[in-house]
Amino acid sequence: MQYFWKNVPRYIRYVLVQTLCLFIFTALFRLIFYCFFFKSSITDSGIIAKAWYLGLKFDLRLTLIVMIPLALLAVITRNKFFTSAAVRRTNFIYLFLVYLVLTLLYVLDLGHYAYLGLRLDPSITRFFASGERADNARMVWQSYPVVRGLIGIALFLFLISRLLVYTYRRYARQQAVTIRKGRYAAWISALVLLFAAGIYGNFAYFPLRWSQAMFTRDNGITSLALNPVIYFVANFTVKGDTYDLQKTREYYPYIAQYLRVDSLDAQKLNYVRTVPGVNKPRPNIVLVMLESTGAAVTSMFNNPMQATPNMQKLSDSGILFRNFYVPAISTAKTVYGVTTGLPDITRVKTASRHPQMVDQRIIMDQFAGYEKYYLLGGNTNWANIRAVFSNNVDGIKIYEEGYFKAAKADVWGVSDYDLITEASAIFKDAHQRKQPFVAFLQTADNHPPYTTTKGAGDFKKVTEKDIDMNKFKQAGFISIDQFNALRYLDYNLGHLIQLAKEGGYLDNTIFVFFGDHNCTLNPYHFMPFPEYELGSGGEHVPCIMYGPGHLTPQQNTRAGSLLDVYPTVAKLAGIPFKNYTLGVDLLDTTYNSRYAFISYIKNLQFCTAVIGEQYLFEVNNGTGKTALYDLKGDALKDVGAQHADTARALNNLTHGFYESTRYLMFNNKK
């Protein structure tokens, strides 16, 4: 074997050795991902081994594609590869750039996965949007060990550079061998076949495909089986967001009947529902968005850690919607969705960043006689959120950083405790003026960098020594910091209610507390059905309506959506309004079957779905494949064939939501 290796031309040996080194480099990052970031509800060693096998084949494909330019340079220059200074510089610069770019992409991918539980994709470009780069940079600075990371990357690349120099010099010192044209052609052919076979990647009639990585329904397994760099590049082929008028009209009757529009018209695409007003005293409305708060982390949904006692008290004294969902995982998408009544189903950026999607006819604007507030501890240039409110709500007062007396706590602005304290003063002032108001209060501290303060002096963080770590692991939390941030959010909700009592406006106010999406969690199994595995856990959030004297305490099990919030509170307030979009009254008991429209990434593929009390119907938007899951039976089994009529009806409703949303985003202008 040693004799054979020495007879291989040294420039080909050099290429093969560098290819092996780069392949080991990619495998090293796969090992890091597996040891420190991988999480899955699947423990079968055979399935995990298969994911490793497929992942290494994708790593080999990336390695060979990247090494093609070096191989071409070597076989063209032959022995001059080691004698020409220009070739030497070209070789070193190319390989160093390869390692530099791949290292940065892999590190970015690991950070992206730790943050969102998803592999790196082109949607990350939203964090570089004009006016947001500085805030996002500060969030990264405050959340991650940036300096140590950069030092580590620099040291790693220095070692790589020394290895590159050492390897090149070692082969340059070896004796050059002149070979005949026939043998040269044979070596070139062998090298081409070797590269082609590795890139092809399959012992079959078709090459290695992404569908092979998605052999389970588990995001963790799929992520382990993918190569993040190839996946990132492949996703740049995603088409821009638009709408299809023909499909909108095709599915319009199904969504129009579900919404109970005033006048069904598939040509004009009428979605309007007119709600008459009621002559009664007008209560205040306060919407409180709970950052990164899913149902599964709260006390009301049997989380073993019972971290949210204040939310529990509010739900016991108000209305808890047990099956409440946001349409998508993203804070910007939630703010857009609850305000406009449309799911934000954009793929790369968010609708708030899309000029053609910002102009909307919304219910908040129709609160006649009300003062309207949007309160955020940071800057409303974030995600272009300012335009969602200022462009659509006449006379809205925006309170953001620069207004508040408190100092900034972190990149997201003033702490939630200070935000709530100063917001309550605004609410109290309106109450004393006998001025009804509708307000959107957006919290932020339950989010990296997980900044917490002492509140009124009595909030204390816990450590691993203070809690039952067995329960902690069962609860799904990723870290103690994440757990403490949720506790701090709950603490601040108690602070808000106490201030409302002291300010005198509690009894004349209806509060709506809702999560904007779930946080990234480890697998959990205490919910009524396996929402983590199904992919719906990220969208399942708590929603509590609390209004002493206005609402009768109850637990509502009908499916509800973020889109339904404003139609519900507007009706409770008794104002006359027109609903132009897709939300309905959460408290309307005349609906026989209620469904929430959701979208999520499953096996790294975009899916849309509707979910009700018993069924989840899912459409894979890439493949068109559908599935019906019985949430009260074997929830991971597709029962579409056994319940064909139900599947057909929900397929039409899902497409009705999706196509109507795409249309209305561009065609619901004032």
Query: Taking the chain, what is the end-to-end CA distance rounded to the nearest angstrom?
Result: 77
Indicate left, alpha or beta for 292 from its phi (over 0: left) and psi (-120 to 50: alpha).
left
| Buried b / exposed e along 392-406 (16+ C-beta atoms within 10 A) | bbeebebbbbeebeb
Task: Please list the residues that pair with 546 across neighbouring strands.
Answer: 511
The alpha carbon of residue 135 and the mean position of all alpha carbons in its chain are separated, in whole angstroms, by 18
Q: Is 331 part of any known ligand binding site?
A: yes
Task: Please list the residues that pair with 602 across neighbouring strands.
Answer: 605
* Amino acid of residue 421: T
Q: Which of 222, 331, 520, 626 is catalytic?
A: 331
Total residue count of the chain as it appears in this document = 670
Rounded Cα–Cα distance for residues 114 and 118 (Å): 8
Q: Is 447 part of any known ligand binding site?
A: yes
Two structure tokens written together for 600: 């999520």
> How would DSSP label each residue in 306-330?
---HHHHHHHHHSEEETTEE-SSS-
Contacts of 458 (CB under 8 A, 6+ apart): none
Two structure tokens written together for 107: 């590190």
The alpha carbon of residue 471 and the mean position of all alpha carbons in its chain are separated, in whole angstroms, by 26
Strand order in the sheet with 626-630: 596-602, 605-611, 615-620, 626-630
Q: Is 516 part of any known ligand binding site?
A: yes
Residue 77 annotated among the catalytic residues of the structure: no
Rounded Cα–Cα distance for residues 22 and 64 (Å): 9
DSSP secondary structure code for residue 239 in this structure: P
Q: Is 291 part of any known ligand binding site?
A: yes
Two structure tokens written together for 37: 């970031």
**Tokens 């020394």 belong to residue:** 162
* Amino acid of residue 404: F
Residue 288, SS3?
A: strand
Of 492, 541, 296, the closest CA to residue 484 belongs to 492
Rounded Cα–Cα distance for residues 336 and 396 (Å): 16
Residue 176 in contact with residue 82, Cβ under 8 Å?
yes
Exposed, middle or buried by CB within 10 Å (0-12, 13-18, 19+), for 355? exposed
Residue 636 in contact with residue 534, Cβ under 8 Å?
yes
Catalytic residues: 331
Residues that constitute the known binding site for Mn(2+): 291, 331, 516-517
Residues that constitute the known binding site: 291, 331, 447, 516-517
Residues that constitute the known binding site for substrate: 447
